[in-house]
C-alpha cells in the first residue's frame, strides 16, 4: 500500500491485527516507527521468518529483565534470536540451576502481564557510553567501541539494552514461552574471554504452537545422532585425541563405505573423474588464493623451514591437476570429484557431534568449462543433487539462490558480465527444472553467486546439503585457462559443487532422519539370525552362511528370544530360528516396524532382501516374495 503523508506511524497504515511489526520499503520496523515520505508498508507477523526473529528477540529482552530483577548484580552479554528461539548471555555471581528457569519464567509472566511497551531512542555514541557506564554494563561498553553511527537503545520496564531492533509493541504480545536449558559460552566466542552463562528459550503466539514445538524437541532428543552414535557404536570423539575429530567404529565405517561407493559410482557414471589429493600444502598456495590472510579457520605447521597449511578445502589441488598440462576446448568440461578430507579450526563452543567438526570429508567436485557449457553443467548438478537426496530418503528441501547486492558491486570479484551470466544461468536452470526457490540479494559470497539446497529431515528441520557455486576469483589468481577454437588462451568458468556436503554432517543428518533405523541398503547389520534355543544353533549357522553376501549377525546366546529381538530393534530383519523352522527348512521373518511377516524359504527371503537393497527402500515387505 502507498501512503503519501508527511508523518505517519507504521501502525497507522496496517490493518492486520496479527502484525507485530511492519516492513517499510522492505526493511523491518517497529509499529511505532515514523516515516516522513511515501513508502511501501506491509504487515509483518509471526508466520514470516523475520517476524519470528523479532518475536524471539523481544522475548530474550523480557527474560533479561526478569533475570536482572531476580539477581540485580547481573551484567549482560548479548541476547539474539536464533533458528529455533533465542538465548541471552549473563555474567552473574549466581550459578544458574534448572530450578532457576522456573523462577525466571514466573517473573517473565509478571512482566508480560504488565504489558510494558518496548520504547526505542537513538543517541550519539558519547551519550550511549555514559548511559551504559552508569549501568556498569562493561560488555555493552565493549560493543559500543566497535560502533560508529548513532546508537539505538531499547527499554522495556526496568531493562535497557543496546539494540538495533525492531521489537514487538509491548511485552503482552508474548503469549506462550518456555525456557529450555542452561549452557556456558565464552564472551564473543573467544576462549580467552570470560565464560558467561547462557539461557536458551523459545516463544510462540499460541500454546498449541509451543506444545507442538516441545513435542518435536523431545523427538529430536531421541533422534540425536550423538546419542544414537554411541548406542549403535557408529563413531566416537575422543577428547584425549582432540575435539571435533571423528573416529569411526566398524558399524559407522560400514555405512560410510556404502555411501561413498554409491557416490563414486554415480559420479563416474556422469563423467566425473575421481582424484585424490594430500592433506597439506605449502602456505604459498593459500597466499595466492587469497585465503591465508582472511580465512580464519586455517591451521599452519612447519616442515623444516617451510610453512604448510592443513588443507581447508580441495579446490586448489584440483586447479593444480587441471593446470598440469595445456587444456583444449575440446576437452571441456573437465570434472574432478574427490571425497577429500579437510581441516578447519572451529572454536570449541560451536563443535557439535558430527555436524560441526574440525576434520571432515567433503564430497567435493569442480567443473572447468566454457561459458556456453554452464547451463548444461548446472542443470546436470541439480539433477544429480535431486537424485542423491531422494536416494537417501530426503524428498523435501528448500532452495536458496544467493546473488550479489546490485547497489554494492564494488565488493564482488568478477565483471558485470560474469555476474549477469552466472546469475542468469542459475535462475534458468532452476526454472527449467521447475524448482521453487528463494532469491536473496546480497547473500552471495564475494567470488560468485550460488545455489544452496537445504534438505528437510523427518522433523522438518533444515540441514545444509548441496551447493552450486560460481567462482570468479580463483581462475584469475591461478591463471586457469584453456586454448579455444581461435588458438588463443581463455579463462575457464569454474564451478564448485557438493551434493551431500560434508560426509560427517550428512551422516549425522541421516542418522537423525532415520532415528538410527537405516534403510536396508545402508544398515550396518541387515539381518540378525537369532536362535530360539541351543538346539537350533547349527541350523542358525547354516542360514547365516547362506546369507553371507549380506551383512549378517548371529545371535546364539542363552538370552530369551524377546531380549534378542529388543536388542536388534534397529535391524531391518530378524530371522527367528527354532525347531519348527529347522524341520521345515524355513525362517520366521520379523521386519522392523511390522513384526512377524511370515515364514519364508531362504531363497525367497534372499529375493525379498535383494529387492529392498536394489530399490534402496526402508523395507517394502508387501511386495513380498519374488517367485
pLDDT in tens, 531-550: 998 899 999 999 999 999 99
Domain 56-223 listed as CATH 2.170.150.70: no
Run of H or E residues at 610: helix 602-615
CATH architecture entry for 527-623: 3-Layer(aba) Sandwich (3.40)
Residues pairing with 606 in the sheet: none
pLDDT at 625: 30
pLDDT at 619 over 70: no
Greater model confidence, 411 or 329: 329
pLDDT of residue 620: 57
Residue 300's pLDDT band, with cuts at 50, 70 and 90, is: confident
Q: How confident is the model at residue 67 (pLDDT cuts 50, 70, 90)?
A: very high
**Cα separation, 393 vs 390, whole angstroms:** 5
Residue 334's nearest CA partner among 486, 501, 500, 482 is 482
pLDDT class for 621, splitting at 50, 70, 90? low
pLDDT of residue 559: 86
- CATH number for the region 255-277+314-513 comes to 3.30.930.10
C-alpha torsion sign, points 411, 417, 421, 424: positive
Cα dihedral: 495, 499, 504, 507 (round 10): 180
pLDDT tops 60 at residue 481 = yes
pLDDT, position 191? 81
Residues tagged active-site: 315, 344, 362, 364, 366, 450, 496
Q: What is the pLDDT of residue 222?
A: 92
Burial class, 17, CB count within 10 angstroms (exposed 0-12 / middle 13-18 / buried 19+): exposed
Q: Residue 17: is its pLDDT beyond 80?
A: yes
pLDDT of residue 570: 93
Q: Phi/psi class of residue 592: alpha, beta or left (left: φ > 0; alpha: ψ in -120 to 50)?
A: beta
CA–CA dist 430, 18 (Å, integer): 34
Q: Which tens digit of pLDDT belongs to each residue from 460-479?
A: 888 889 999 999 999 999 99
Greater model confidence, 304 or 142: 142
Measured CA to CA, the distance from residue 564 to residue 561 in angstroms comes to: 5
Residue 622 has pLDDT above 70, yes or no: no
Mean pLDDT of 445-455: 91
- pLDDT (0 to 100) of residue 2: 46
Q: Return the pLDDT at 4.
A: 47
CA distance 39 to 6: 11
Q: Which of 399, 418, 560 is nearest to 466 (CA)?
A: 399
Q: What's the rounded Cα separation, in Å, for the pair 540 and 291? A: 59
In SS3 terms, 343-379 reads as ECCCCHHHCECCCECCEEEEEEEEEEECHHHHHHHHH
**How much is the pTM?**
0.85
Lowest mean pLDDT among 103-112, 120-129, 578-587, 616-625: 616-625
Query: So what's the pLDDT on residue 1?
Result: 43
Which pLDDT score, from 0 to 100, does residue 15 have? 85
Q: How far is CA 579 from CA 300, 531, 535, 588, 598, in A?
A: 64, 9, 7, 11, 16
Cβ–Cβ under 8 Å, residues 364 and 273? no
Instruction: Identify each DSSP E strand in 359-509 by its residue range.
Output: 359-369, 397-403, 438-441, 450-456, 462-471, 481-483, 489-491, 493-502
Please report the pLDDT score of residue 443 as a whole number: 87
Mean per-residue pLDDT, 363-368: 95
Amino acid at each position: 500500500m502507498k501512503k503519501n503523508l508527511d508523518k505517519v506511524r507504521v501502525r497507522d497504515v496496517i490493518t492486520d491485527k496479527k502484525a507485530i511489526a511492519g516492513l517499510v520499503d522492505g526493511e523491518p520496523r517497529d509499529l511505532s516507527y515514523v516515516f516522513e515520505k511515501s513508502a511501501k508498508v506491509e504487515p509483518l507477523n509471526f508466520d514470516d521468518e523475520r517476524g519470528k526473529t523479532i518475536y524471539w528477540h523481544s522475548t530474550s529482552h523480557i527474560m533479561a529483565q526478569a533475570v536482572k530483577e531476580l539477581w540485580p548484580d547481573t551484567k549482560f552479554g548479548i541476547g539474539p534470536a536464533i533458528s529455533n528461539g533465542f538465548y541471552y548471555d549473563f555474567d552473574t555471581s549466581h550459578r544458574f540451576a534448572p530450578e532457576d528457569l522456573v523462577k525466571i519464567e514466573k517473573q517473565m509472566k509478571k512482566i508480560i502481564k504488565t504489558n510494558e511497551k518496548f520504547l526505542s531512542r537513538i543517541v550519539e555514541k558519547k551519550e550511549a557510553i555514559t548511559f551504559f557506564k552508569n549501568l556498569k554494563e562493561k560488555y555493552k561498553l565493549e560493543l559500543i567501541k566497535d560502533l560508529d553511527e548513532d546508537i539505538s537503545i531499547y527499554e522495556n520496564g526496568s531493562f535497557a539494552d543496546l539494540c538495533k531492533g525492531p521489537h514487538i509493541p509491548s511485552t503482552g504480545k508474548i503469549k506462550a514461552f518456555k525456557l529450555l536449558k542452561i549452557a556456558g559460552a565464552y564472551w564473543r566466542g573467544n576462549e580467552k574471554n570470560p565464560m558467561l552463562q547462557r539461557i536458551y528459550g523459545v516463544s510462540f503466539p499460541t500454546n498449541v504452537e509451543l506444545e507442538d514445538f516441545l513435542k518435536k524437541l523431545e523427538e529430536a532428543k531421541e533422534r540425536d545422532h550423538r546419542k544414537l552414535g554411541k548406542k549403535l557404536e557408529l563413531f566416537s570423539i575422543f577428547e584425549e585425541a582432540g575435539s571435533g575429530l571423528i573416529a569411526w567404529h566398524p558399524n559407522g565405517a560400514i555405512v560410510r563405505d556404502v555411501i561413498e561407493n554409491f557416490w563414486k559410482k554415480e559420479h563416474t557414471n556422469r563423467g566425473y573423474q575421481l582424484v585424490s589429493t594430500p592433506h597439506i600444502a605449502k602456505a604459498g598456495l593459500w597466499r595466492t588464493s587469497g585465503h591465508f590472510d582472511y580465512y580464519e579457520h586455517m591451521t599452519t605447521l612447519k616442515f623444516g623451514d617451510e610453512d604448510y597449511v592443513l588443507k581447508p578445502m580441495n579446490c586448489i589441488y584440483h586447479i593444480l591437476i587441471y593446470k598440469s598440462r595445456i587444456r583444449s576446448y575440446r576437452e571441456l568440461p573437465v570434472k574432478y570429484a574427490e571425497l577429500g578430507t579437510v581441516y578447519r579450526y572451529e572454536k570449541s563452543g560451536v563443535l557439535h557431534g558430527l555436524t560441526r567438526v574440525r576434520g571432515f570429508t567433503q564430497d567435493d567436485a569442480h567443473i572447468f568449462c566454457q561459458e556456453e557449457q554452464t547451463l548444461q553443467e548446472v542443470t546436470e548438478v541439480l539433477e544429480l543433487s535431486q537424485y542423491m537426496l531422494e536416494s537417501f530418503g530426503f524428498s523435501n528441501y528448500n532452495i536458496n539462490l544467493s546473488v550479489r547486492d546490485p547497489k554494492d558491486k564494488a565488493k564482488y570479484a568478477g565483471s558485470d558480465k560474469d555476474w549477469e551470466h552466472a546469475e542468469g544461468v542459475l535462475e534458468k536452470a532452476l526454472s527449467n527444472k521447475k524448482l521453487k526457490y528463494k532469491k536473496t540479494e546480497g547473500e552471495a559470497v564475494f567470488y560468485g553467486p550460488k545455489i544452496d539446497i537445504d534438505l528437510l529431515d523427518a522433523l522438518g528441520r533444515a540441514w545444509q546439503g548441496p551447493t552450486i557455486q560460481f567462482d570468479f576469483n580463483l581462475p584469475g589468481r591461478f591463471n586457469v585457462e584453456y586454448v579455444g577454437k581461435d588458438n588463443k588462451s581463455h579463462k575457464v568458468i569454474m564451478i564448485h559443487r557438493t551434493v551431500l556436503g560434508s560426509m560427517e554432517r550428512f551422516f549425522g543428518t541421516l542418522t537423525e532422519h532415520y532415528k538410527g533405523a537405516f534403510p536396508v541398503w545402508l544398515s550396518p547389520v541387515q539381518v540378525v539370525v537369532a536362535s530360539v534355543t541351543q538346539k537350533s544353533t547349527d541350523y542358525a549357522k547354516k542360514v547365516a552362511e547362506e546369507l553371507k553376501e549380506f551383512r549378517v549377525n548371529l545371535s546364539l546366546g542363552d538370552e530369551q528370544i524377546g531380549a534378542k529381538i529388543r536388542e536388534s530393534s534397529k535391524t531391518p530383519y530378524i530371522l527367528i530360528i527354532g525347531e519348527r523352522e529347522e524341520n521345515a527348512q524355513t525362517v520366521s521373518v520379523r521386519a522392523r516396524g511390522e513384526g512377524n511377516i511370515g515364514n519364508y524359504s531362504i531363497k525367497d527371503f534372499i529375493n525379498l532382501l535383494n529387492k529392498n537393497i536394489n530399490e534402496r527402500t526402508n523395507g517394502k515387505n508387501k511386495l513380498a516374495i519374488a517367485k
